[in-house]
Structure 1
């Protein structure tokens, strides 16, 4: 009887289909020396590097658009010390410089009118022929140019079969500790000698049975200071600077909590939890009347959802536009700023491990929250008049994300799974206080984590927690072992994005230029390992270092 029920259940599951689980009756096998899974900026630099080294490569991308956040709205590049950005990453920003030298690239303003400064240096750096601040479509075109010029094979809308997530069965076929192939939901089999997971989520890594962590480690795990729960640590302006009641009736707990406030008590300082820093969309906005899509009232809009922000305004808040960072052609890269902004606190905890269907729900929920916030700022009578007036000048750009109504195609996955690999990058490493072994690139940005929760303090007022911004004393090297799984777990996989780092160290490493750097270095190691007929873990570092330096990577100060 149990067997009959199991067979009936299997029949029902197999008969149900959706765009994400349909298996094609004409499933095929595709083979290359290196198989890259993901469509991020690291995917493109990795693929270009494999091609440069004379090996075959296939990019298997669940995304239609290449580039991840670099082409998905994050045009105001988080760079830190630009001098340590080398290789294909630097070449990417060089191509953007060339793009903006063309008069035809300036549609809605003249180049001379664009006087914005980047993070410490000019956006348009003529001395070094680099452009660090750019429009999404310009970045995506550079990535597509790389694909076309290098004749890179890319299969889009191809999702890894994660039916048995976390184990080396189902979608990933292994022989011992070596991946033989993986299957996508279309039924296609991808066979390779080496595999590179460049997803923000680390899906291939997890499905291959590699160890990883989700959430914040306790400070005691790696001997850190800024990991774990951090109440009372305020490094940016993303906290409540005045007393704001979280209750529907101010001061009355019996009235219930307002939306977007967690009823969960905060953990002990420095303790670990399963919370991750908030996600948002990096909106590209336009204030040109001929290139502006007004914000409409989104489905299910409820102004009560934004009551906390109304109370913040009532207390004199004036920083609404502090992160409307200007990019070319009268547009912005709009990021979170303040105690109640585009970061959607606490609504992404299950995203890293979620099914594709559940991830789509989370992404849609973030979109509606953020669109509702924009509508609230433009229309609600509780918003100050001067904010109303300025907000109504902004809308989504008609010439960006044209197949998605001007809305970014990529949510900002600031952090998801993080591998526990051969070497774990820790707080001291990312602060430049140590000498890490076998450098494959460098980082320099602040240890930057966004808030992870909004809670009620003991005094009855609301506060955010998790926002950290600690500056390294100097640029730091990133260890080769941090993109390698333990060899006993997988001997032909490299993971340059969901790489091996503590939560707080990852807060610095997780910048788009660094992902491009690590993508190129991972590809170099993969090809050299094939040539040497060894695992990446056994590849002599001096051999890898020589090629990285030849290709312009910056490895040490």
Structure 2
């Protein structure tokens, strides 16, 4: 198969890129490894949820995506209808397995069947079946994982940079959060008995150091007690209460410190179901233990699909096991056991996957090493790039990366804590949208001349944490697709297009690339706000 432009990844950004390229007169093929379009916007996050200043967003994101509503099945359906009405060829359930290059150009991508299972979990490896080769003049990697970029041999980053690497004060290993006086060992007091499950070995690196960890993932899921829509949450086949001994000890701690029965219930609900965000449940970062595992996402970033599939299923089985533990264990307060047991997944929201969202929230994985690296200075509006192709605005939003045994430096008491959590500036960040330059979505010319990467863009771990919102990805994807068509028209590398022509054309399409209006909000105190936490 051949097209002018091939877009890999049916994320919201991928759909916007495909539609834009089509509107600009190019032929397009869109490849989606799953069977659903819309990525996280079809899996719990709402189009406007992580967009505190909608006035800073234009183009198709504002005109179309923001009008898709808030109900995941409707959002998915509208993405499918939007792409289908444009007549764009979509190849579903095929995953990239190899890339053929011709010098500095990607010539062909090779994709193979890899359908997800009944709960939406990606296949562990591409199935044997009829492969498909797709050639194009320009490629857009709009996936959350950056697989096209990686298989093309384009350099990228994973993990956390040190403070010194880019002069970022919040970078690297962070301060301890959620410290709780719980013995971390299987046999309390015996360090030779190993750490409890769900606790990582501490690498011992000082604050500000680089490491390979990244922030936690989770599902944005819906619950119900309505038997008409309830899909029972069953325990995994290998369930053992020993796996959740840390949870038992944390429940005991909550019981000992709660001021009232209501306070106790609130703290227990932070474990499960978590934080009710905007109709769906999210990770409660203020709790030592919550509805998703910590310390496994770093293996997902650069892992193969055997590793990723295992981690994806582990997120499901962790939630199943946690639900069963809190519903049945005798040391969990009876009222909360009964409340938890009554919950099931809302199968009316994700009917095709038994109530499980069909996209794991991969908050960050690979990040391009591009011509420009977005840093915390950009987020703080301390730079003025001349090639801005869109605006971003959010706080530096990082969920915990690790859960470790930690000794309180003041009391010398041993406990368990999380590390890596930060929400600098809250959802409003600095209150001032910041520009994202074109060079942040282009590889260095010597690395590849016909690839654009609007999702796994070139940014530090800190800058990516503020930029990684679906509306921003969509804005960058629209600009990327216009750039791709200019590259085709002028027969030049994507790095050599006329930037002013690009900025002129995306402005004509309604994109907003400069900000002169005063913000309607002000920086928050950093506390998550309903409807505004990524």
Aligned positions of 1:333-352 closer than 5 A: 333-337=281-285, 338-352=287-301
Structure 2 Cα separation of the partners of residues 516 and 379 of structure 1: 44
Structure 1 Cα separation of the partners of residues 226 and 46 of structure 2: 18
Structure 2 Cα separation of the partners of residues 395 and 195 of structure 1: 41
SS at match of 1:172: strand
Structure 1 Cα separation of the partners of residues 109 and 277 of structure 2: 42
Structure 2 Cα separation of the partners of residues 509 and 523 of structure 1: 19
Shift of 1:284: 2.1
Q: Which residue of 2 aligns with 1:101?
A: none
TM-score, normalised via structure 1 length: 0.81
Among candidates 469, 484, 509, match of residue 511 of structure 1? 469
Shift of 1:348: 2.7
Aligned positions of 1:48-63 closer than 5 A: 48-63=19-34
2:380·2:434 contact (CA, 8 Å) conserved in 1?
Answer: yes
Structure 2 Cα separation of the partners of residues 264 and 293 of structure 1: 38
1:75·1:333 contact (CA, 8 Å) conserved in 2?
Answer: no
TM-align CA RMSD: 1.9
Residue 183 (str. 1) matches residue 137 (str. 2): no
Shift of 1:496: 0.5
Shift of 1:68: 1.2
Residue 159 (str. 1) matches residue 130 (str. 2): no
Q: Which residue of 2 aligns with 1:448?
A: 397
SS at match of 2:95: coil
SS at match of 2:352: coil
Shift of 1:343: 3.0
Structure 2 Cα separation of the partners of residues 435 and 343 of structure 1: 38
Q: Which residue of 1 aligns with 2:423?
A: 469
Q: Which residue of 2 aligns with 1:419?
A: 368
- TM-superposition CA deviations, 1:135-154 (whole Å, max 9, x none): 22121012112112211110
TM-score, normalised via structure 2 length: 0.85
Aligned positions of 1:25-174 closer than 5 A: 30-75=1-46, 77-97=49-69, 134-161=70-97, 171-174=98-101
Query: Larger deviation: 405-414 or 68-77?
Result: 68-77
Shift of 1:547: 1.5
- TM-superposition CA deviations, 1:209-260 (whole Å, max 9, x none): 111111111111101011110133x4xxxx23x3222122333323331111
Structure 2 Cα separation of the partners of residues 372 and 427 of structure 1: 38
Query: Larger deviation: 318-327 or 479-488?
Result: 318-327
Structure 2 Cα separation of the partners of residues 138 and 69 of structure 1: 13
2:275·2:284 contact (CA, 8 Å) conserved in 1?
Answer: no
2:223·2:345 contact (CA, 8 Å) conserved in 1?
Answer: yes
Shift of 1:431: 2.5
Aligned positions of 1:428-443 closer than 5 A: 428-443=377-392
Among candidates 457, 463, 483, match of residue 499 of structure 1? 457
Unaligned runs of 5+ residues in structure 1 are 1-29, 98-133, 162-170
Among candidates 249, 255, 269, match of residue 207 of structure 2? 269
Q: Which residue of 1 aligns with 2:520?
A: none
Query: Larger deviation: 71-80 or 293-302?
Result: 71-80
- TM-superposition CA deviations, 1:123-171 (whole Å, max 9, x none): xxxxxxxxxxx2221210121121122111100111111xxxxxxxxx2
1:398·1:405 contact (CA, 8 Å) conserved in 2?
Answer: yes
Q: Which residue of 1 aligns with 2:121?
A: none
Q: Which residue of 1 aligns with 2:198?
A: 260
Shift of 1:266: 2.8
Shift of 1:321: 4.0
Structure 1 Cα separation of the partners of residues 55 and 330 of structure 2: 48
Structure 1 Cα separation of the partners of residues 193 and 41 of structure 2: 44
1:92·1:142 contact (CA, 8 Å) conserved in 2?
Answer: no
Query: Larger deviation: 393-402 or 53-62?
Result: 393-402
Unaligned runs of 5+ residues in structure 2 are 113-129, 255-263, 516-534
Distance 1:437 1:344, change over 3 A: farther
Distance 1:299 1:79, change over 3 A: farther
Residue 488 (str. 1) matches residue 437 (str. 2): no
